[in-house]
Amino acid sequence: MSDFINFIYKLDNKLYNQTDNKIDDIKLIINSDNIPRTIANDYMIQSMIVQLNNLISNLYANEEDQLDSIKKYNKLKVQAQNDLLEYETDLEKLQQKKNYLVQFL
């Protein structure tokens, strides 16, 4: 009975080396409850940190591009407003000339 229980224990836990019936350290580490989770969690955290760093660097690059675009748009807006004022003065002058010509005729 004890041999059967020992055999079931070895079969269930898969910790023993088959050749010399000693506990295999690697199998013990792999089959322990906390080690794989801890390693997986550490790897997942490191992976998330790398992804977060990449995301932040991309955000900084995009922010600089957007700031440059905003500066260009503001410059173009000011230029368009100045051109609009010039066109309005030109239209007023042309309207005055038209009125003068109508009165002259």
Q: Residue 51: what pLDDT?
A: 92
**15 in a domain, yes or no?**
yes
Please give the residue range of the domain that contains residue 22: 1-32
Does the residue 91 lie in any domain?
no
Beta bridge mates, 16: 23
Contacts made by residues 5-9, CB under 8 angstroms, sequence distance 24+: none
Residue 84 forms part of a structural domain: no
Does some domain include residue 80? no
pLDDT at 81: 96
Q: How many structural domains is the chain composed of? A: 1
pLDDT tens for each residue of 50-95? 999 999 999 999 999 999 999 999 999 999 999 999 999 999 999 9
**Domain-located, residue 2:** yes
Residue 2 has pLDDT above 60, yes or no: yes
15-61 pLDDT, tens digit per residue, is 656 666 666 666 666 666 666 666 667 777 888 889 999 999 999 99
Q: Where are the alpha helices (DSSP H) in the chain?
A: 2-13, 25-31, 34-104
Task: Please give the model's pTM, rounded to 2 decimal places.
Answer: 0.44
User: Is 1 inside a domain boundary?
Assistant: yes
